[in-house]
Structures are given as C-alpha cells and as structure tokens.
C-alpha cells in the first residue's frame, strides 16, 4: 500500500534532480566545468557534441530513467537481501523497506514514463 512518503520521495527526486531538466545535464556533459576537465569528461564532451540535441536528450533521459528506476527498485526489494534497509519518515508516518509494503516503483512510474519522459501529472 503506497503512502504519502513514497510520493514525497519520488516527487523530490523527479523535481529536484536532472529528470526535470535533462537539457542542463546535456549542456554540462558537452561543456564540462573546471579549468582542466578529466580525460573521461573531455571524451564524453566530444561524443555528446557529435549528437544532435534530440538524440542527446533521448540518451540522457533513458540513462537517467534507468538509474533512478533501479534505485527505486532496490528500495522496493529491500536492497535484494543485502542486509541494508532504509527508513523514510515524515511526521508520524514511516516507510521501512523491510516491510515489503512500499511501492516506490509505482509512484515513480506514475510520474516518469519509460525512457525518462515526464508524465503529465494530474496535480
């Protein structure tokens, strides 16, 4: 049973992370900051600059979606019996990954479509 906490966590990740502004991530990958970017950053910038904006955004959205989705999947599966657990609380509500009741995945997919496109939210 999904709680308001799952919604809050997912909203925070989606709205405050690069999922809501992938164009900024594309720009930073194409023009790494710093006086002397690392070799990896320079090679990434070179590769990203060869892509048109649409291709670069599609790739970045897909990669972001896969990464964020995998984290929420780990939450939902109690970190795959690794011995790690997480608790999220707000006020008197709490979500504990050990209970198996959480549904971060569903909360995430209601906001972000596969491939990283933000869903039209009924807010």
17-34 pLDDT tens trace: 888 899 999 999 999 988
Q: Is residue 99 part of a domain?
A: yes
In DSSP terms, which residues pair with 95 in a beta bridge?
A: 88
In the chain, the number of structural domains is 1
User: What domain range is 33 assigned to?
Assistant: 4-109
Side-chain half-sphere CA neighbours of 58 within 13 A: 5
Q: What does the pLDDT look like over 43-101, one tens digit per residue? A: 999 999 999 999 999 999 999 999 999 999 999 888 988 889 999 999 999 999 988 87
Sort residue 10 into left (φ over 0), alpha (ψ -120 to 50) or beta. Answer: alpha
pLDDT of 123 above 90: no
Q: Is residue 120 part of a domain?
A: no
Q: Is residue 119 part of a domain?
A: no
Q: Is residue 71 part of a domain?
A: yes
pLDDT of 105 above 60: yes
Q: Is residue 104 part of a domain?
A: yes
């Amino acid at each position: 049973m999904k709680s308001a906490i799952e919604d809050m966590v997912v909203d925070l990740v989606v709205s405050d992370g690069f999922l809501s502004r992938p164009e900024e991530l594309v720009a930073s990958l194409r023009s790494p900051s710093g006086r002397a970017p690392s070799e990896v950053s320079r090679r990434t910038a070179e590769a990203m600059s060869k892509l048109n904006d649409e291709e670069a955004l599609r790739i970045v959205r897909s990669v972001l979606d896969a990464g964020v989705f995998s984290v929420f999947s780990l939450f939902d599966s109690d970190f795959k019996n690794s011995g790690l657990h997480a608790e999220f609380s707000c006020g008197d509500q709490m979500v504990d990954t050990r209970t198996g009741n959480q549904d971060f995945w569903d909360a995430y997919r209601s906001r972000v479509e596969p491939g990283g496109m933000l869903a039209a939210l009924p807010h």
